[in-house]
Homo-oligomer: A and B are copies of this chain.
Amino acid sequence: MYDLDTTSHPRGDGVRDLTLTDRWNTPLGKPNGGYILAAMLRGLGEEIKGSDPLVAAITYLASPETGPAELRTSALRRGRRVQTGEAALWEGDRHIAQLVASFAGRDGGRTHELGTPPQLPAPDDCVDPRGQGLPDDGIFDRVDYRLAARPGWADGAPNGDPTVELWQRLAGGREIDLPALALLCDSYAPPVMELGELASMTVQLTVHLHRRPEPGWIATRLTTRHVVNGFHEEDCELWDEAGNLVAQSRQLAILL
């Protein structure tokens, strides 16, 4: 479903048609923001014929609905090493989201890693949240999640620590490409729920895509450290099973 649901069809002049399906809906009944980002990033990349996506910055402007949508893309600059474009997602006369993304080849160049991946039990030794008090349709049908323990907020007892580590993969183990990494940065419940805040809406999300993952699960670290006057940031790191950082993101969200 990932391939089908993130496909857009060129209509010419940089405009593309797509359909936001209900298969990636959040528990609030709206298309997940990471799914929207993946579809927009994939369409923009095909349109401007960039290399691999490198960085994607999306601002969510209005609440999305499932159904037909239009992606209006344009190239901003085609450099030798980096290509940049932008894409606007429209549903009828509603401007849903605005994306600026850069694409680049990632061969060679220095690598120096100072971070460490989450320390999680093996996926088979973790909790599958489906049927464990968490929702079990929409995006929970499309992404497999494995948690070290059942989250406190699911039992009405937020633990006060807005940090979550979990495994993720596309349902059934489908290969995870770079746009899918962008999806996985914003596919799980916000860690701010462990502060008892059960409704949060992303305003802006920037994703750095570092490398294609090795096959397998993605170890995910989500954390919120700063809540200021009703807005909060949320950081995400994604690591593959070989222990490589594959993507990271930061978002600014508003408490509802």
Contacts and interface: CB of A to CB of B under 8 A. Distances in A.
A255 B204 contact: no
- Residues of A contacting B: mostly: strand
A115 interface: yes
A95 B77 contact: yes
A252 interface: yes
A102 B204 contact: yes
A208 B205 CA distance: 11
Interface residues of A, number: 52
28 contacts: A55-B59, A57-B204, A59-B100, A61-B77, A62-B79, A81-B254, A84-B98, A86-B98, A100-B100, A106-B228, A106-B230, A108-B230, A109-B228, A109-B230, A109-B231, A113-B228, A114-B162, A115-B225, A115-B226, A206-B206, A206-B250, A210-B231, A211-B228, A226-B245, A226-B248, A228-B245, A233-B248, A250-B250
A95 B76 contact: yes
A210 B208 CA distance: 22
